[in-house]
C-alpha cells in the first residue's frame, strides 16, 4: 500500500445525526497510518466532492497543517469525486474511500493463496465500475483521460472481467479441496464448530479458551495464533484467513475454526468476494456468533441483524449467540442488554473469553447443540485384526467399555457416519480359524 505508516486525516459525511469516526480511525490504524485529525459534516452528499466545498477547503487546510499524506473517507467515493478531491488537496496527498482502505488492509494480511485470490477478486470488483466509467466517458466525449481518469484502454475492462472469471474458477477448485477435507474430518469423528462475528468481538481469544491445543491449522506457519505464546491482539483483521484448532470435550473431538471478522457497512460485492472463507461458517455443524456485549445496545442490534442476514442466507447449522466481554459490563447493564436483545438472541451464552468466566457453560451448550451421537455395541471375533478395529474406534469415537472374552464387545458413542464405518470394518473381520 502506498503511504503505509504515513500520517492520515479521516473524513466522514452523513445525511443526518452525528458522524462517528471511531471505526474508520481503527481501520486507518489497522492499515498502519497515524491518524492526526478528522473532518466531519452532516449534510446531503455533494455529487462532485462528497463534502461541501467549504468543508473541503477546511480539510485541505488541516491536511497541510498536519503534514498528512493521505485522506481516508468513511464513505463510498465515486471515481469523479476521488479525482476532484485530489485536485483540492495539497499535491501528492492520496485519497482513499472506506472500501479501498479495507481492501488495502486485506492485501496486507493476505498470506495464503486463497486469501490473496479473494483480495484480488475484491479489488477487481472495486475497479470494474471505474474502468466502465472511463469507457463510457471516453466513448461519449471522445476525450481520452476525461476528468483525469486516465487514458481509456478498451482492453482493460475486458481484462478485468476475464481475470474475475479465472479467479472465481480457481477459488471454486480450492473450495472443492476444502470440502473434501471437511468430509475427511467428519469421517474421522470430528464435529466442526465455526466462530463468526465482527472484528474485535473476541473470537481469537475465545478460540484460545476453547481449544488450547495447536493441532490443525489451515495456514500453518502463517497465522499469528500459531505462536503458542502470542497474545490475542486488539487489532482489526488479525484473522484474515481461517485458523482451526482441536478442542477435546468429554465425549467429542471438535475442530473450532476462527474466521475473518465482519465489519459494518460492507457492500455485497465485497462480502461475496470472501464467500470462500465464509464457507467455513456455512458448512460447520455449529456456529458461535460472538458479540461484544460492551458495545451500545443499538450497535449490537445492528451487528446481529447484519450477521443473521449473512449467515442465515446459506447456513444450515444451529447458531448460538455468545455475548462476550462480560467482564466489561456490570450485572445491571448485562441484564438490560440481554432483555433488549431477546428477540435476536433469545438464548445467548454470556462469557468473558478474557477471564474464562462461563466458558465451561459455553462448552456444555456446544455439546448440547452439536448433532446427536448414536450409541452402538459391536460384538466381533478375536482375530489378528481385531485390535486394529478397537484402536480405530478409540480414535474416532467415545468408547465407554471394551470387554475381551471369546469375542470382543465394544460399547461406544459416535457420529452416525462413524458408527456406519465401524460396522463396515467389523463386518470385514473373519473369525479366527478353528484349532
Lowest mean pLDDT among 137-146, 188-197, 332-341: 137-146
C-beta of residue 125 within 8 angstroms of C-beta of residue 103: no
d(CA 322, CA 270): 26
Cα 210 to chain centroid distance, Å, stands at: 18
- Co-location of 387 and 419 in the same domain: yes
Task: Examine residue 128 and state whether it is found in any structural domain, yes or no.
Answer: yes
Lowest mean pLDDT among 202-216, 234-248, 277-291, 298-312: 234-248
**In a 10 Å sphere around its CB, with 0-12 CB exposed, 13-18 middle and 19+ buried, how is residue 163 labelled?**
middle
Task: Examine residue 120 and state whether it is found in any structural domain, yes or no.
Answer: yes
Bridge partners of 183? none
Half-sphere exposure of 67 (CA within 13 A, CB side): 2
- Co-location of 301 and 157 in the same domain: no
Cell numbers found for residue 218: 489451515
The pLDDT value recorded for residue 353 is 92
In the predicted structure, residue 1 carries a pLDDT above the cut 80: no
Task: Examine residue 310 and state whether it is found in any structural domain, yes or no.
Answer: yes
C-beta of residue 31 within 8 angstroms of C-beta of residue 4: yes
User: What mean pLDDT do residues 104-120 have?
Assistant: 80
In the predicted structure, residue 108 carries a pLDDT above the cut 70: yes
In the predicted structure, residue 234 carries a pLDDT above the cut 50: no
Last residue of a domain, one of 339, 354, 369: 369
Question: With the C-alpha atoms ordered 19, 23, 26, 31, is the resulting torsion angle positive or negative?
Answer: negative
- Co-location of 129 and 197 in the same domain: no
- Co-location of 328 and 391 in the same domain: no
DSSP secondary structure letters along 194-207: EEEEBTTSSHHHHH
CATH number, domain with residue 401: 3.30.1370
The pLDDT value recorded for residue 153 is 56
Lowest mean pLDDT among 54-58, 105-109, 349-353, 424-428: 105-109
The pLDDT value recorded for residue 58 is 96
Give the pLDDT band of residue 296 (cuts 50, 70, 90). Answer: very high
In the predicted structure, residue 175 carries a pLDDT above the cut 90: no
- Co-location of 206 and 265 in the same domain: yes
The pLDDT value recorded for residue 235 is 42
- Co-location of 266 and 380 in the same domain: no
Give the pLDDT band of residue 241 (cuts 50, 70, 90). Answer: low
Give the pLDDT band of residue 182 (cuts 50, 70, 90). Answer: confident
Cell numbers found for residue 36: 492526526
Does this model's pTM top 0.85? My answer is: no
- Co-location of 202 and 349 in the same domain: yes
CATH number, domain with residue 60: 3.40.50.11060
Q: Which of 58-62, 232-236, 414-418 shows the highest mean pLDDT?
A: 58-62
d(CA 228, CA 212): 8
DSSP secondary structure letters along 32-48: TPEEEEEEEEESPPBTT
Cell numbers found for residue 184: 475427511
The pLDDT value recorded for residue 430 is 64
User: What mean pLDDT do residues 64-79 have?
Assistant: 93
Residues annotated in the binding site, as ranges? 197-204, 239, 258-261, 324-327, 352-354
% of residues, the chain, pLDDT over 70: 79
d(CA 2, CA 416): 53
Nearest to 254 by CA among 296, 228, 227, 288: 288
Residue 222 or 347, more confident: 347
Q: How far is CA 418 from CA 6, 52, 60, 285, 286, in A?
A: 55, 65, 66, 15, 18
User: What mean pLDDT do residues 41-67 have?
Assistant: 95
User: What mean pLDDT do residues 148-155 have?
Assistant: 55
For the chain, the average pLDDT equals 81
Give the pLDDT band of residue 139 (cuts 50, 70, 90). Answer: low
Task: Examine residue 193 and state whether it is found in any structural domain, yes or no.
Answer: yes
The pLDDT value recorded for residue 115 is 76
- Co-location of 275 and 421 in the same domain: no
The pLDDT value recorded for residue 211 is 84
Task: Examine residue 346 and state whether it is found in any structural domain, yes or no.
Answer: yes
User: What mean pLDDT do residues 379-393 have?
Assistant: 89
d(CA 406, CA 391): 18
In the predicted structure, residue 229 carries a pLDDT above the cut 50: no
The number of domains in the chain is: 4
Q: Which of 52-61, 235-244, 266-275 shows the highest mean pLDDT?
A: 52-61
Nearest to 75 by CA among 100, 107, 94, 105: 100
Give the pLDDT band of residue 103 (cuts 50, 70, 90). Answer: confident
Task: Give residue-wise pLDDT tens across range 355-377.
Answer: 999 999 999 999 888 887 788 99
Task: Examine residue 180 and state whether it is found in any structural domain, yes or no.
Answer: no
CATH number, domain with residue 347: 3.40.50.300
Give the pLDDT band of residue 11 (cuts 50, 70, 90). Answer: very high
At residue 248, φ and ψ (nearest 5 deg) are -95, 120
- Co-location of 212 and 313 in the same domain: yes
Nearest to 22 by CA among 200, 194, 152, 167: 200
- Co-location of 404 and 274 in the same domain: no
Task: Examine residue 435 and state whether it is found in any structural domain, yes or no.
Answer: no
Task: Examine residue 68 and state whether it is found in any structural domain, yes or no.
Answer: yes
Residues annotated in the binding site for GTP, as ranges? 197-204, 258-261, 324-327, 352-354
d(CA 200, CA 30): 12
Give the pLDDT band of residue 260 (cuts 50, 70, 90). Answer: low
Half-sphere exposure of 320 (CA within 13 A, CB side): 23
Residues annotated in the binding site for Mg(2+), as ranges? 204, 239
Last residue of a domain, one of 336, 369, 402: 369
The pLDDT value recorded for residue 216 is 39
- Co-location of 358 and 211 in the same domain: yes
The pLDDT value recorded for residue 323 is 95
Q: Which domain holds residue 158?
A: 110-175
Q: How far is CA 52 from CA 47, 48, 85, 98, 329, in A?
A: 9, 9, 11, 18, 40
- Co-location of 219 and 285 in the same domain: yes
Instruction: Give rounded-to-5 percent helix, strand, coil for the chain.
Output: 45, 20, 35
Last residue of a domain, one of 320, 342, 369: 369
Amino acid at each position: 500500500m502506498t503511504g503505509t505508516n504515513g500520517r492520515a486525516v479521516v473524513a466522514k459525511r452523513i445525511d443526518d445525526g452525528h458522524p462517528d469516526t471511531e471505526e474508520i480511525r481503527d481501520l486507518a490504524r489497522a492499515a498502519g497510518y497515524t491518524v492526526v485529525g478528522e473532518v466531519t459534516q452532516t449534510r446531503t452528499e455533494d455529487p462532485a466532492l462528497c463534502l461541501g466545498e467549504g468543508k473541503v477547503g477546511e480539510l485541505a487546510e488541516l491536511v497541510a497543517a498536519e503534514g498528512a499524506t493521505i485522506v481516508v473517507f468513511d464513505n463510498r467515493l465515486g471515481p469523479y469525486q476521488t479525482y476532484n478531491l485530489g485536485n483540492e488537496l495539497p499535491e501528492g496527498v492520496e485519497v482513499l474511500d472506506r472500501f479501498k482502505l479495507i481492501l488495502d488492509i486485506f492485501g496486507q494480511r493476505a498470506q495464503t493463496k486463497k486469501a490473496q485470490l479473494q483480495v484480488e477478486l475484491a479489488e477487481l470488483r472495486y475497479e470494474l465500475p471505474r474502468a466502465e466509467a472511463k469507457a463510457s466517458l471516453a466513448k461519449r466525449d471522445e476525450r481520452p483521460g476525461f476528468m483525469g481518469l486516465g487514458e481509456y484502454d478498451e482492453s482493460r475492462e475486458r481484462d478485468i472481467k476475464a481475470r474475475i472469471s479465472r479467479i472465481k474458477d480457481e477459488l471454486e477448485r480450492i473450495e472443492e479441496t476444502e470440502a473434501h477435507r471437511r468430509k475427511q474430518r467428519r469421517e474421522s469423528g470430528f464435529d466442526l464448530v465455526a466462530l463468526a462475528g465482527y472484528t474485535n468481538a473476541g473470537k481469537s481469544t475465545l478460540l484460545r479458551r476453547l481449544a488450547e491445543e495447536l493441532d490443525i491449522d489451515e495456514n500453518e506457519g502463517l497465522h499469528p495464533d500459531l505462536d503458542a505464546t502470542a497474545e490475542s491482539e486488539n487489532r482489526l483483521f488479525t484473522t484474515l484467513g481461517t485458523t482451526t484448532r482441536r478442542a477435546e470435550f468429554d465425549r467429542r473431538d471438535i475442530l473450532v475454526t476462527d474466521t475473518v471478522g465482519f465489519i459494518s457497512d460492507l457492500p455485497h460485492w465485497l462480502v461475496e468476494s470472501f464467500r470462500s472463507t465464509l464457507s467455513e461458517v456455512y458448512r460447520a455443524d455449529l456456529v458461535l456468533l460472538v458479540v461484544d456485549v460492551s458495545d451500545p445496545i443499538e450497535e449490537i442490534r445492528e451487528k446481529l441483524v447484519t450477521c443473521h442476514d449473512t449467515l442465515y442466507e446459506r447456513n444450515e447449522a444451529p447458531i448460538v449467540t455468545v455475548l462476550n466481554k462480560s467482564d466489561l459490563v456490570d450485572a445491571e447493564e448485562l441484564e438490560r442488554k440481554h432483555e433488549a436483545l431477546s428477540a435476536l438472541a433469545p438464548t445467548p451464552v454470556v462469557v468473558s473469553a478474557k477471564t474464562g468466566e462461563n466458558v465451561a457453560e459455553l462448552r456444555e451448550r456446544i455439546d448440547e447443540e452439536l448433532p446427536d451421537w448414536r450409541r452402538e455395541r459391536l460384538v466381533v471375533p478375536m482375530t489378528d485384526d481385531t485390535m486394529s478395529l478397537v484402536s480405530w474406534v478409540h480414535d474416532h469415537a467415545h468408547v465407554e467399555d471394551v470387554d475381551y472374552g471369546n469375542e470382543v464387545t465394544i460399547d461406544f458413542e459416535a457420529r452416525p457416519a462413524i458408527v456406519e464405518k465401524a460396522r463396515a470394518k467389523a463386518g470385514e473381520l473373519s473369525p479366527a480359524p478353528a484349532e
